[in-house]
A and B are shown apart, each in its own frame.
Chain A
């Protein structure tokens, strides 16, 4: 690997990358180099593998073939390819949401049957208040018993997936003006599964050739994620696992502990890892750990599973997406337990270079030859215990001379949900969005920015996230974060209240200090981007900042994106009226000028939001601030200092 020092701004990463090199372990940065240069047809999105008359490619230089065998041109091909990614991204979040809804259904069962075996899963309704709120949104009589409510709500929620007609219930959370835009375009999602299936249908050979129609249908599918699957995942997780509250935690590879059994949870679904948290303090397991010479069991997380257990339990975060391999490279991880999404297939190979046991838990995500402990919801606690036991026993195999945990770790505060934002700003006794709206109207807060998304080895790890966010808060933009983006900024010390003083502009600093919040708020995992949508709807509801989501002085950005899920998130934000920038490489559509223009220009007059592709974080900040100022001007708000 060339120029390690350019790979990341995170010193823990650089140290560990050097160790990886010394240990002769290949990581994604090496593999990226081995891939280079990557296929230009793929990058431009003009390769079509839809049918077996192909694969066809459009010559981006205009010399060779300009249509595939079937006659599809660059517009159709890039739009179809993009639509397929939207469908996949939506399917990931929505399937996650489905599993959470199924867990809720299991709780209903428990209450129905109350037999002993069902108890062993260990779940409770930890936020009964939210349960009621949610139930009333679905028109359920909340005077009924909790058992009844859970039963009815889980039924209704599961119906959202299989619904054929009508509208997804959560789309009612959106302001009326926004709903009218969707209705006019006919993109209100009808059923979560239907939108994914229908979008995929339209992209098969010989169906939709109108790139605008393909993208509009893509937006409907994306909305079924943001205002459907993801929202269900978020809200029901809050019901079952408890709504997060601001909580202090620690982040970066330094959270791994030298003399402890280190168990890392990685992936996206918190249902099992929640039990892992419980099981990590199981006296039987602790005893076993101590008998093997460990001082205890240390649980840490990677990616969004980390975000989930962080914001509910303060479990430390070992790192974001690009640190999953590096956690193992420290030589100090006894076991890495993975569920679904963003789990690099390379983990198997990396783990095999150390003593780390990799354990898969989902039948959806298995590795050949890797220990699999199937997660059964009804037996969750025992499953978690079983897995941790494997890790504890593996402590004996740790090779001390191969252990090198970087010393870097940072404090952070996480757990700002949409409810918490207004609780905090409004104060305990004045729970309302009014103060937030007023701060924006007064210009103390210039606007809001959602900075979300992944890491991508194609850009310097964490640099885009942190450079952008620093610039935004310097300009009084309150930043809301989720996923790996939040972890990136947390590692650089931006998610502590003290960061306001160091980095934020005067207005934002004043607000942060008055309320005691960081200038960058951690809202959770990537399904929790739905929290941003709900929060934005509440802002409109509160009044004074326009009638539609697109009126709010706000912008979105995924500076280091890589996943299909990010594309879908981007689309539900844009379709909800948000100006959204993607960095670290554009969508694979640049092979079609029409599609590129539609995404980056045309959509604004259609849905109020549009995409921007930009590969410079400072320029991104400039663009976002300019957009925020444009929206402020439209609302006739005073310009900020």
Chain B
């Protein structure tokens, strides 16, 4: 099973991965159109910085996911086969327990839609969209 890793020495903080992520999860899949969609697609990953380095961050899909324990609506499930925390939007009530419990701060609230945003490793695509978005190759997609 592959996981996203980040080469911090290569990350320039351009946030292209954020934009591509938002576009990849939009209805149209097109930047210009995505900005006009009724429900604005937001990035599932963020680049933050500390001590001169940039740190892209996305859901780690922990094997003992705190967010799944915290989910009071049973909207989160750990899929042991896919090694993926799966989110069932239809059950989610936007209580933000998962955000409160994520030890990485890798889940963000979509305040408008009341849905937590997290990396789904682009399940509907061959590989995560951010991988190719990175102009310096700082995003790595490797076996765990």
B is a partner of A:
yes
Q: Which A residues have a C-beta under 8 Å from some C-beta of B? A: 35-37, 39-41, 43-44, 57, 60-63, 586, 590
* CB of B74, distance to nearest CB on chain A (Å): 28
Q: Are B43 and A39 in contact (CB under 8 A)?
A: no
Which chain B residues in 20-73 approach chain A with CB under 8 Å? Answer: 20, 22-23, 31-32, 35, 40-43
- Interface contact A39-B42, CB-CB below 8 Å: no
Q: How many Å lie between the Cα of A60 and that of B135 in the bound state?
A: 20
In contact, A61 and B42 (Cβ under 8 angstroms):
yes
Check B40–A61 contact: CB distance below 8 A.
yes
Q: Which residue of B lies closest to A43 (CB)?
A: B31
Known: A57-B15, A60-B19. A40 touches B40 (CB 8 A): no
Q: With A36-B132, A60-B19 in contact, do A41 and B14 touch (Cβ < 8 Å)?
A: yes
Q: Are A37 and B132 touching (Cβ within 8 A)?
A: yes
Instruction: Given A36-B132, A37-B16, A40-B20, answer yes or no on A63-B42 (Cβ-Cβ < 8 Å).
Output: yes
Q: Identify B19's interface contact among A35, A36, A41, CB under 8 A.
A: A41
Enumerate 6 A-B pairs (CB-CB under 8 Å) in ascending A order.
A37-B129, A37-B132, A39-B14, A40-B16, A43-B32, A590-B32
CB <8 Å contact, A44 and B31: yes
A60 to chain B: which residues have CB within 8 Å?
A: 19, 35
Cα–Cα, bound, A57→B15 (Å)? 10
B96 to chain A, nearest CB (A): 16
Task: Give the total of B residues in contact with A, Cβ under 8 Å.
Answer: 18
Q: Which 8 A-B pairs have the closest CB atoms?
A: A40-B19, A37-B133, A61-B42, A39-B16, A37-B20, A40-B31, A590-B32, A61-B22
Cα separation A561 to B132 with both chains bound (whole Å):
26
* CB closest chain-A residue, reference B35: A60
A36 to B132, CA, bound (A): 7
Give the residue among A36, A43, A63, A586 with the most B Cβ atoms within 10 A: A63
Distance A35 CA – B16 CA, assembled complex (angstroms): 12
Nearest B residue (CB) for A40: B19
Task: Indicate which residue in B23, B41, B42 contacts A40 across the interface (CB closer than 8 Å).
Answer: B23
B100 to chain A, nearest CB (A): 19
CB-defined contacts of B132 to chain A, threshold 8 Å:
36-37
- Bound CA–CA A246/B87 (angstroms): 68
Partner of A39 from the list B22, B41, B135 (CB cut-off 8 Å) is B135
0 or 1 for each of B108-144: is its CB under 8 Å from A? (1 = yes): 0000000000000000000001001101000000000
Of A36, A44, A60, A590, chain B has the most CB atoms within 10 Å of the CB of A60
Residues of the B chain whose Cβ atoms lie less than 8 Å from the Cβ of A40: 16, 19-20, 23, 31
| A residues less than 8 Å from B43 (CB atoms) | 61
- Residues on B with beta carbons closer than 8 Å to the beta carbon of A590: 32, 35
| Shortest beta-carbon distance from B87 to chain A in Å | 19
List of A residues within 8 angstroms of B16 by Cβ: 37, 39-41
Residue among A36, A44, A61, A586 with most chain B CB within 10 A: A61
